Amino acid sequence: NKIEITILSIFPEMFNIITNYGIIKKAIESGIVKINVLNLRDFTVDKHKVTDRPGYGGNNGMVMLVEPFFRFYDEYIKKNNFKPYVVLPSPEGRTYNNQIAFDLSKKEKLVFFCGRYEGIDERIKAIVDEEISIGDYVLTGGELPTMVMIEVLLRFVPGVVGSKESVENDSFYNGLLDFSHYTKPAEFRGMKVPEILLSGDHKKIEQFRKKDSILKTILKRPDLFINKELSLEDKKLLVE
Ligand code: SAM
């Protein structure tokens, strides 16, 4: 495989949502991607398979124990003779974006640690390479953030998405929002598909889409646009 992802969670079944559907399922079946979802409880050694305890200091909730994570990590390195890149989904991390996803997609082996409750004992940071947040809000656990991150980064692994162009035209890839898409019927309740798209003139269609993409970005995401260097050709499109 091009990339192997290992996830540690107390709710491994949640990951069926990404592994059993669509392009990720296909990528797993074709061997491009390997996803191992491990149950954190399998790395406990006590009878009750405890993974959390009340936090020290009082008056805070349950905190996840570090031991099971470290036990997994040591075993992983021993077995693979390789240090994986470990991501900790956390509201404290850098906010996830296309660039971070692209960089992660280049790693051979990734590990995600899913926290719950108040999070994992702070000493987990000793084996974490990067903390990543999916936005300034708090979810109940690291499972959904991990799924979001995996889904986004896998789109950058060659072969996962059928057409390379479709990833490269998607929003954010080149600093712009995607152009507008239409399909049949050509007219619906009086709303017409822009005629140029029916013309078959590929050059004109490309220019039309580029202009649409730029205008949308200016109107909806001026923050993105402000950092974007337009080529002379693109600037000409805007004043046409
Ligand atoms: N006490 C933590 C705080 O206030 O920062 C929140 C813990 S949260 C309830 C439990 C777990 O969900 C976290 O350990 C983390 O793995 C995950 N999580 C919550 N919000 C997240 C976000 N915005 N991005 C990434 N992971 C998040």
What phi and psi values does residue 72 have, to the nearest 5 degrees?
-60, -50
Determine if ligand 1 sits within 6 Å of the CB of residue 90.
yes
Residue nearest to atom 19 of ligand 1 (CA): 139
Residues 106 and 28 in one domain: yes
Q: Report yes or no on 159 lying in a domain.
A: no
| 139 marked as binding residue | yes
Give the 3-state secondary structure of residue 187: strand
User: What's the CA gap between 94 and 175, in Å, rounded?
Assistant: 19
Average pLDDT over residues 186-209: 98
Exposed, middle or buried: residue 114 (CB in 10 Å: 0-12, 13-18, 19+)?
buried
Q: How confident is the model at residue 240 (pLDDT cuts 50, 70, 90)?
A: confident
CA of 87 to the centre of ligand 1 (A): 13
Q: 145: domain CATH number? A: 3.40.1280.10
Active-site residues, by number, are 91, 118, 155, 170
CA of 91 to the centre of ligand 1 (A): 5
Residues 235 and 176 in one domain: yes
Q: Report yes or no on 149 lying in a domain.
A: yes
Domain final residue pick, 91, 122, 154:
154
User: What's the CA gap between 109 and 131, in Å, rounded?
Assistant: 16
CA of 10 to the centre of ligand 1 (A): 15
As given in the structure block, the two tokens for residue 54 are 């009340």
Residues 14 and 100 in one domain: yes
Residue 114's contacts (CB-CB under 8 Å, 6 or more residues apart) are 7, 8, 9, 10, 11, 40, 89, 141, 142, 143, 146
State which H helix or E strand residue 211 sits in: helix 202-220
Residues 32 and 148 in one domain: yes
Whose tokens are 């109107």? That residue is 219
CA of 67 to the centre of ligand 1 (A): 19
Residues 179 and 147 in one domain: no
Q: What is the pLDDT of residues 110-131, one digit of tens each?
A: 999 999 999 999 999 999 999 9
Domain final residue pick, 154, 186, 217:
154
Residue 144's contacts (CB-CB under 8 Å, 6 or more residues apart) are 14
Domain final residue pick, 121, 154, 187:
154
For 207, the domain range is 164-239
Point out which residues pair with 36 in neighbouring strands.
6
Ligand 1 atom showing the smallest separation from residue 137 Cα: 23
Residues 17 and 108 in one domain: yes
β-pairing, 130-133 vs 85-95, is parallel
Sheet holding 130-133, edge to edge: 33-39, 3-9, 109-113, 85-95, 130-133
Cα dist. 133→5, 95, 142, 144, 146 in Å? 18, 5, 10, 11, 10
User: What's the CA gap between 148 and 216, in Å, rounded?
Assistant: 25
At residue 237, does pLDDT exceed 90?
yes
Number of domains in the chain: 2
Q: Report yes or no on 47 lying in a domain.
A: yes
Average pLDDT, the chain: 96
Residues 113 and 185 in one domain: no
Comparing CA positions, the residue from 131, 25, 45, 34 lying closest to residue 80 is 34
At residue 45, does pLDDT exceed 90?
yes
Residues 64 and 88 in one domain: yes
Counting ligand 1 atoms within 8 A of each CB, the residue from 62, 90, 113 with the most, and so the one to mutate, is 90
Q: What is the pLDDT of residues 29-43, one digit of tens each?
A: 999 999 999 999 999
Q: 172: domain CATH number? A: 1.10.1270.20
What phi and psi values does residue 9 have, to the nearest 5 degrees?
-155, 155
Ligand 1 atom showing the smallest separation from residue 134 Cα: 24
Determine if ligand 1 sits within 6 Å of the CB of residue 128.
no
Q: What is the pLDDT of residues 53-80, one digit of tens each?
A: 999 999 889 999 999 999 999 999 999 9
